[in-house]
Amino acid sequence: MKLLRLVLILLMLLPLGCNPSPTTDGTTNSADSVTSSPPVVNRVVALTPITADIIYRLDSAKLVGMTSSRLLDNNQALQDIPRVSRGRTQPNLEQIVALKPDLVIGAVGFHDQVLDKLQSLDIEMISTKLDSWSSLEELTQTLATTIEADPEPLLESYQQCLPTQTPKQNTSTLVLVSRKPILSPNKDSWAGDLLRQFGAANLVADLQGKGPIKGYVTLSPEKVLQSNPEVLILVNVEGENLDEFKSEPFWKDLRAVQNDQVYVLDYYGFVNSGSVDAIAQACKQLQEIYETK
């Protein structure tokens, strides 16, 4: 059950890249695409925290519905925006339709059924999957273009989170997202790409997993010990007890443990983008770990 819950969390919140909805017959009319203007998007429902946050920052007046999230629910500016989903439950289709959106934004994998139903109702949708910094920038640019907003201030704020120059990858690093099973992000994940941005040499970057979660590999305790990283990052996932890692037979023999180079980063921002502020916080911690500027 613990593994199933973790899989659901990761699948639901590994959102972005952009897959705009196709036309109903799967084709594009070239004449129409030249002569007609795209429909004006004034009402947006965002089914992930990061897309709700981006839309609100681009043009607050156009966000008319969003998912509930601890990352955004304490923001007083967002209190009056209707919530169409909570936690890991599927969004309320009737509530979404009642909001009369011009566009609904969801996550690849988790919101497929809802988005398909909305498309059948001729409601435009964008399906997102975030697995790199460039996909965050691409998503922001796409959403800005769609709602006719200026993305530059937000894109500039992203750049302020990163080192001015990408450091050489010379600090061997291992990230452990969960204990049973032991999961670690490779280069095809949001966390893996963040590590690269800050000069971490991710020891599992080029490994490919066979599990259900793309971008993550399953490690044995022996493999963890064999990797023996300089820096060990544990991810704080809701419901997990990080102290349990200390009971693993490899723990005391890792040089990161011996040299007090063990760090804890929040799930949101590091493993899942979560929100713009969560990303900034993760970047700040990584900057401190790898002493980048």
Q: Note whether residue 257 is domain-resident.
A: yes
Q: Note whether residue 250 is domain-resident.
A: yes
Final residue of a structural domain among 128, 159, 190: 159
Secondary structure (H, E, C), 22-37: CCCCCCCCHHHHHHCC
pLDDT bucket at 34, cuts 50 / 70 / 90: very low
196 and 264 within one domain: yes
Catalogue the long-range contacts made by 48-51 (C-beta closer than 8 Å, 24 or more residues apart): 48/13, 48/15, 48/105, 48/106, 48/107, 48/128, 49/268, 49/274, 49/275, 50/15, 50/16, 50/130, 50/273, 50/274, 50/275, 50/276, 51/15, 51/16, 51/105, 51/128, 51/139, 51/143
Q: Note whether residue 2 is domain-resident.
A: no
Domain count, the chain: 2
Q: Note whether residue 27 is domain-resident.
A: no
> In this predicted model, what pLDDT tens digit does every residue of 206-253 receive, in sequence order?
998 776 678 999 999 999 999 999 999 999 987 778 889 999 999 999
In this prediction, residue 175 carries a pLDDT of 98
Sign of CA dihedral 280, 286, 291, 292: negative
198 and 113 within one domain: no
Q: What is the mean pLDDT of residues 101-128?
A: 92
Instruction: Read off the pTM.
Output: 0.85
Per the listing, tokens 């180079």 go with 261
Q: Note whether residue 189 is domain-resident.
A: yes
In this prediction, residue 14 carries a pLDDT of 43
Q: Are 251 and 268 in contact (CB under 8 A)?
A: no
254 and 223 within one domain: yes
186 and 256 within one domain: yes
Q: Note whether residue 6 is domain-resident.
A: no
pLDDT bucket at 292, cuts 50 / 70 / 90: low
| Distance of alpha carbon 125 from alpha carbon 190, whole angstroms | 23
Q: What is the mean pLDDT of residues 142-152?
A: 96
Q: Note whether residue 29 is domain-resident.
A: no
Where in the sequence is the domain holding 228, given as residue range(s)? 171-290
DSSP of 155-210: HHHHHTTS-SSPPPS-EEEEEESBTTTEEEE-TTSHHHHHHHHTTEEETTTT----
In this prediction, residue 141 carries a pLDDT of 97
In this prediction, residue 37 carries a pLDDT of 59
pLDDT at position 26 over 60: no
Q: Are 82 and 22 in contact (CB under 8 A)?
A: no
| Distance of alpha carbon 236 from alpha carbon 291, whole angstroms | 22
Final residue of a structural domain among 159, 182, 216: 159
In this prediction, residue 63 carries a pLDDT of 98
Q: Which range among 37-41, 184-188, 226-230 shows the weakest confidence by mean pLDDT?
A: 37-41
Final residue of a structural domain among 127, 159, 191: 159
Q: What is the token pair recorded at 120?
A: 């059948």
pLDDT at position 32 over 80: no
In this prediction, residue 3 carries a pLDDT of 43
